Amino acid sequence: MIQTLEWTERGVRFIDQTKLPTEEVYVDCTTYQEVADVIRNMVVRGAPAIGVAAAMGIALGVKNSKAESAGELRRELDHICDVIGKTRPTAVNLFWAIRRMQQKFEAVRMLPAQQIKQALIEEAQRMHAEDIAINRAMGRHGSALMPASGGVLTHCNAGALATAGYGTALGVIRAAIEDGKKIHVYADETRPFLQGSRLTAWELMKDGIATTVISDNMSGAMMRQGKIGAVIVGADRIAANGDVANKIGTYTVAVLAKEHNIPFYVAAPISTIDLATPDGSEIPIEQRNPAEVTHIAGKAIAPEGVGVENPAFDVTPAKYVTAIVTERGIARPPYDQSLATLADDASQPTSTAS
Amino acid sequence: MIQTLEWTERGVRFIDQTKLPTEEVYVDCTTYQEVADVIRNMVVRGAPAIGVAAAMGIALGVKNSKAESAGELRRELDHICDVIGKTRPTAVNLFWAIRRMQQKFEAVRMLPAQQIKQALIEEAQRMHAEDIAINRAMGRHGSALMPASGGVLTHCNAGALATAGYGTALGVIRAAIEDGKKIHVYADETRPFLQGSRLTAWELMKDGIATTVISDNMSGAMMRQGKIGAVIVGADRIAANGDVANKIGTYTVAVLAKEHNIPFYVAAPISTIDLATPDGSEIPIEQRNPAEVTHIAGKAIAPEGVGVENPAFDVTPAKYVTAIVTERGIARPPYDQSLATLADDASQPTSTAS
């Protein structure tokens, strides 16, 4: 079992995703500032994992606090949430996790400071456990969408490493394989950060799942050759109308899938659905350091001074999305209705703070 | 002026394209076997440059021959052509160049051996000069297709470095800029070999042309944001029906261009048109070493033992191609007619062996 992140006696421990697949090393954060740094530097990445990391970072900051009253603790909590909220702008799970921790604080603020701290630590750990359960539920729903056999393309890493465990898109693939389907995964390498070749391939090989790495620009050729029966990806934020923000290149894959009449699925927890954002045009897209594009492993691969674009995400309009798999079931177009229904369904087990 | 390759007293000199953009070093080949190696190892690449390199390699092999009769020389020539013809299977310019050198031999075989050698050396040098003239003619025809201003996307390197000079696709861009158009080039980095970020960006910056490097998977997002007004690429082989084999990822760009109603142009000399190949399904696609995908700059970026696909090229069906720019003018659909007409047009200056 891959431990993407875990709460320890000392603080929060992360597998260092910048070092995989050649080195399996762990980073121990003992302050919330260090947790903010590992989110910013992509030691941990993936929307659900960022959410749990944020919650644990907040719990760690609160645990380290010397505050003796709820009022004092609240001022510190606000500052901690502010710092962690500025790490990465696109994944809505970050803000969802911050809100949930703030709401937990409100719910227990009448208790002594020590008990408030303990409640927040437990809440972060609960979110970790819930995330794995959510992914398993997503897998059960999504498995039926996967082909009985053949190639399934995924982009970036929406796996155990992008979550507390099991994965969203890769969780659906894992569940399909547990159900006896003979799936061969095609993993786009996903430049510039190479989450596909470095992380998806690594965790699938650990599970003995057949995996082929391709350069991002090969997916069109693979589809045209009939090697891809379905595409499944994760999401960093899903707008109310079903527009999906996800790792840069997802939109390209979605267009290719449409051109080849291949279903394009998104797997994401309810916490990724942002009903407050009406459509994708309002999702902030993080621009990252140009050096991610111009350098690989410290070596320059572009002339010095050249212009660079490095948006970390793109938006895939809802019209390209065949279905969205959540822990509460599968949403289909029209998404404004189906997503609202799923998100509001209070009869279902939920990970939201409502 | 970039010297991609040139005939020297010692043999054939190549700029080492595996070392750019960080090192500008040259490789001197003194035997035809060394020329075959530099073609195979992509020290020189790009269909027109491969054609000229093959011709110069043949000339070098013949120059070094100790044969004293035409018959003896012919046997050696056949062997040399065989070795060079096995370097890379997709670019038809390689076979076109071999055939042209063989035809030259036939035309002068009644001369003394020393004069035959001299004639073949001169033929290879003529092909070098012709290639630059062809690219300039292509530029004159193609300039009109370019937008008056804004972004033009190109994939791989179809520039001075892919030819004897000036370039095919980049030649059209250079001509458009010489005509006063305000073009900003978006260069796909073009994994796995990174011809876009390493070579296209390098040669365009040398000419002071505004260039932005993007990861291959960003082209969809750039198009959706309205940053791309046209796409222009080169070709390694064009079938009689207009299907275009070019660097892997070209097909993906073509599908994206169609989805965004952006014109998709191909610039290639007549020698790239292979009327003997009816459609793209019959073009052999070279599979290259998986290590190109799994390693960058010597560093592993994928787990050991993972499956890999590494086709060097893909085929873009003719229906995605808005127009094909040649030195004799612009071909438009239906290509079976327009390409045949251009290729057969004996009234035009020609680089073919007919």
* pLDDT tens for the 354 residues of chain A, in order: 899 999 999 999 999 999 999 999 999 999 999 999 999 999 999 999 999 999 999 999 999 999 999 999 999 999 999 999 999 999 899 999 999 999 999 999 999 999 999 999 999 999 999 999 999 999 999 999 999 999 999 999 999 999 999 999 999 999 999 999 999 999 999 999 999 999 999 999 999 999 999 999 999 999 999 999 999 999 999 999 999 999 999 999 999 999 999 999 999 999 999 999 999 999 999 999 999 999 988 899 999 999 999 999 999 999 999 999 999 999 999 999 999 999 987 555 444 433
B residues 165..184 contacting A (CB < 8 A): none
Question: How far is it, in rounded angstroms, from Cα A262 to Cα A246?
Answer: 19
User: Which of chain B's residues have a Cβ under 8 Å away from the Cβ of A262?
Assistant: none
Helix (H), strand (E) at residue B188: strand B182-188
CB neighbourhood size of B87 (10 A):
21
Show the low-confidence residues of chain B (pLDDT under 70).
Answer: 346-354
Class of domain A5-135: mainly alpha
**Would you state the pLDDT for residue A352?**
41
Cα angle B138, B143, B145 (rounded to 5 degrees) comes to: 110
Question: What digits encode the pLDDT tens for the residues B152-181?
Answer: 999 999 999 999 999 999 999 999 999 999
A156 conformational bin, left if phi > 0, alpha if psi -120 to 50, beta if neither: left
Contact A315, A279 (CB under 8 A): no
DSSP code string of A76-127: HHHHHHHHHHTS-SS-HHHHHHHHHHHHHHHHHTTS-HHHHHHHHHHHHHHH
Q: Please judge whether B302 and A213 are an interchain contact, meaning their C-beta atoms are less than 8 angstroms apart.
A: yes
Which regions of chain A carry the CATH code 3.40.50.10470? 142-347
Q: Name the pTM for this structure.
A: 0.95
Which of A22, A213, A301 comes nearest B306 by C-beta? A213
CATH homologous superfamily, domain B142-347: Translation initiation factor eif-2b; domain 2 (3.40.50.10470)
Q: Where are the alpha helices (DSSP H) in B86-216?
A: 92-108, 113-142, 169-178, 195, 201-206
How close is the nearest chain B Cα to the Cα of A65, in Å?
Answer: 40
Contact A39, A87 (CB under 8 A): yes
Q: Where are the alpha helices (DSSP H) in A225-334?
A: 250-259, 291-294
Nearest residue on chain B to A292, alpha-carbon basis? B215
Question: How far is it, in rounded angstroms, from Cα A81 to Cα B194?
Answer: 41
Please name which of A132, A232, A238 lies closest in space to residue A187, comparing C-alpha atoms.
A232
Sheet holding A313-316, edge to edge: A273-274, A237-239, A244-247, A313-316
How close is the nearest chain B Cα to the Cα of A11, in Å?
Answer: 30
Structure tokens at A309: 């674009």
Mutate to test the interface with A, among B188, B202, B301 (most CBs of A within 10 A): B301
User: Which of chain B's residues have a Cβ under 8 Å away from the Cβ of A190?
Assistant: 217
Which regions of chain A carry the CATH code 1.20.120.420? 5-135
Q: How far is CA A75 from the centre of its chain?
A: 29
Please name the amino acid found at residue A97: A
Sheet holding A26-29, edge to edge: A5-7, A12-15, A26-29
- The complex's ipTM works out to 0.94
